[in-house]
Structure 1
Amino acid sequence: MRSKKAGWLRVMSHLIDSRVSIIVPVYNTSIEYLRECTASVEAQTYSDIELIIVDDGSTDAGTVRFCDEYRNSKSTLVRKKNEGVSAARAAGLERACGSRVMFLDSDDRLEPHAVERLVKVMDGEKADAVIAQDEPGKNIPAISRYYGTDIMKALLDNREASFGWALWAKLFDTERMRQSYKVRKNIFYGEDLLVNADYFSKSDSAVVIDEKLYFYRKDNPDSAMAQARSVKKLSLIPMWREMADIYSAIGLEEEAQRIMANYYDSLLAGYLQCEYYRYDDYKRIMSELKTQLKAQLKCILGNDYVTGKYKYIIAVYFLWAFKLKRIIKNRG
């Protein structure tokens, strides 16, 4: 944790440099959505804003043309090969000049007073991050303050604390985000949660406000169905394992065990998912997942956060299978 002196130095740097960098990763986004997104940045009541559009190797002609033709005195265009949203955000972060940074998805938009409100709360609370909401009517206090490891506990208890696992609807300290940000090219689901965990594990304070400042465009049913079938969803397995390691590294062992329960669940779900959807090379993937499950059997059965139903499934499916294999082998 930082010293009080270091915290005040950060506050002073924000007062000297009031600019906020807004990073928008773009990949084949519809022009309609892009116009709404950029217009919401232009309409901000806070004046000292830098908009960084990162074209992540778009192949759609309309998207490419929009990025080429969009001109604003406060905007910067970064072009790069397609490597995914995590790498695109990292490229924008490298170019950011503001002392504070926000992430905005290219099909979403901000309330006109969003940046002004977030900056005001961050300065007033001397916080390392401010978290707003993307929907109204949440049963949370108008403002909630978290310090030290309680920040990480609140992140894990997202439904109660309304931290949000996505990166948007949050205002961060730019330099702190640069230092903590990691690009994980093998993780396609939950990468935002890992970025948040990396950032908050090194933070002293965070503030949650019960104000809807961000408009999140929900996925359409076809897109959601395609994602459910995607082999990329298996990346939830290493994501949960890495999350547990982050919590364990800062001494939150109980929380790490809770996360490991999610890891075990994703292992079994991934195994069954492979069997159902029959991905390319699914037999090899299933074999690897089965090996991981077998290696974790004792830990699974001894984890208090793993449900009895899950333990029963594991015990019946795997322990009986091992016993049956041993019987067959002995008879042979």
Structure 2
Amino acid sequence: MAEVSIIVPVYQVEKYIAQCIESVLNQTFQDFELILIDDGSKDESGIICDLYAMKDDRIIVIHTDNQGAAAARNVGLERASGRYITFLDGDDYLAPNMVERLYEVIEYSQYDMVVCDFLNILPNEKDNFIVHLQEKTVNGREVLEHLKNEKNHGLWTIVWNKIYKRKVLENLRFPDGKYFEDEFFSNQLYLVSNQIHVIPDVLCYHRVLETSTMNTQKIENYLDLLEALQERLEIYFIYAYADDEIYKVLIYLLDPFTKCVKAKFSGINEQRVEQTRRFIKTTSKKLMKRELSFVKKSSLVIIGLFPDLTYRLAIRFRSQLEKFL
């Protein structure tokens, strides 16, 4: 049994998968198993994975029909035997000491997970950036209630810049068939996480391709994001999270909601949009009874009645509204 299981969903990344695998094989920490889930790739990705597995018995390749990254990661979780688990995307790669650095921090501690900084590699190299993390220890509630609502480039939603104790993930799985699967996963992850340590080391290199999922989202995919955000708001109410944080997430929900309204869906998708409209109205009413400023309470009246119109007006006058909200 390996100390660390590294789970990699692989789909149509023949240009990058060799670098991804090599970055794992060249780790200064060698007690790992690398689980590659070929998610029905139609290019040479699966073949490349098989060739590497023939050379190194720490590599496990599982070929599946195309079901998406969520299902692929779940397959990896079922197969993983390590005491610790990390995730990596097939077009990303690791610094040579990433696993060792994360392992040495989590192994002799009470942390449920350790989080590191990462370099975002964009199509235009001049746009590359890191998050500039500061070392600190937080808890799961603090992350879900506050930190996830800050501007942090998805730091607390993504799964591939962290190492997890196996026991934290034992009863967690990604939602099959959903887009924005990390949003659903993180909702549950931070409910069961206690201490989380952040280190400033830049240890992961994440490619943001022009063809990446986030850059090629179909409008209907945002229906899943709406569902994930509604789930988070329900958690906030159940666990009595701060009223201002509930308000923040409701405001954020208006963006994908407005996109979906403009799409003029029919059938089941139209029903999902209307269900969200009702949810916004109900949530606005609940919040009007909470400890919020007069300005925010007033805005909730309009949001509850005309959520998509409110969002379009808010974007138009954003700079002025930010002074009040």
Common topology (TM > 0.5): yes
Amino acid at match of 1:26: V
**Higher helix proportion (structure 1 or 2):** 1
Q: Residue 293 of structure 1 corresponds to which residue in structure 2?
A: 277
2:99 pairs with one of 115, 118, 135: 115
2:36 pairs with one of 33, 53, 64: 53
Structure number with larger C-alpha Rg = 1
Displacement of 1:68 after TM fit? 2.5
Cα displacement string for residues 219-278 of structure 1 (whole angstroms, at most 9, x for unaligned residues) = 216876532x44222211111111223344433253445333433443333112x13xxx
Q: Residue 187 of structure 1 corresponds to which residue in structure 2?
A: 178
Amino acid at match of 2:192: K
Alignment of 1:165 with 2:157, yes or no, is yes
Q: Counterparts of 1:139-154 in structure 2 under 5 Å?
A: 139-141=132-134, 143-147=135-139, 149-154=141-146
Structure 2: distance between partners of 1:155 and 1:317: 25
Structure 1: distance between partners of 2:281 and 2:304: 8
Cα displacement string for residues 62-105 of structure 1 (whole angstroms, at most 9, x for unaligned residues) = 12321222221211111222221111111111111110000000
Structure 2: distance between partners of 1:219 and 1:307: 41
1:233 pairs with one of 222, 228, 249: 222
Q: SS state of the match for residue 216, structure 1?
A: strand
Q: SS state of the match for residue 106, structure 2?
A: helix
Q: SS state of the match for residue 50, structure 1?
A: strand
Alignment of 1:67 with 2:49, yes or no, is yes
Displacement of 1:129 after TM fit? 0.3
Amino acid at match of 1:69: L
Displacement of 1:133 after TM fit? 1.1
Structure 1: distance between partners of 2:307 and 2:70: 37
Higher mean C-alpha deviation, range 150-159 or range 304-313: 304-313
Contact 1:198 1:246 in 2 (8 A): no
Cα displacement string for residues 121-144 of structure 1 (whole angstroms, at most 9, x for unaligned residues) = 113442100001113654542x11
Change (3 A) 1:220 1:318: closer
Determine what percentage of the aligned residue pairs are the same residue: 25
Kindly tell me the number of residue pairs found equivalent between the two proteins.
Answer: 291
Structure 2: distance between partners of 1:248 and 1:168: 29
Structure 2: distance between partners of 1:317 and 1:140: 35
Q: SS state of the match for residue 24, structure 1?
A: strand
Contact 1:300 1:311 in 2 (8 A): yes
Q: Compute the TM-score of the two structures, normalised by the length of structure 1.
A: 0.76
Structure 2: distance between partners of 1:225 and 1:233: 12
Q: Counterparts of 1:241-280 in structure 2 under 5 Å?
A: 241-252=230-241, 254=243, 255-272=245-262, 274-275=263-264
Structure 2: distance between partners of 1:114 and 1:197: 26
Structure 2: distance between partners of 1:95 and 1:133: 27
Q: Compute the TM-score of the two structures, normalised by the length of structure 2.
A: 0.77
Change (3 A) 1:266 1:301: farther
Structure 1: distance between partners of 2:270 and 2:60: 45
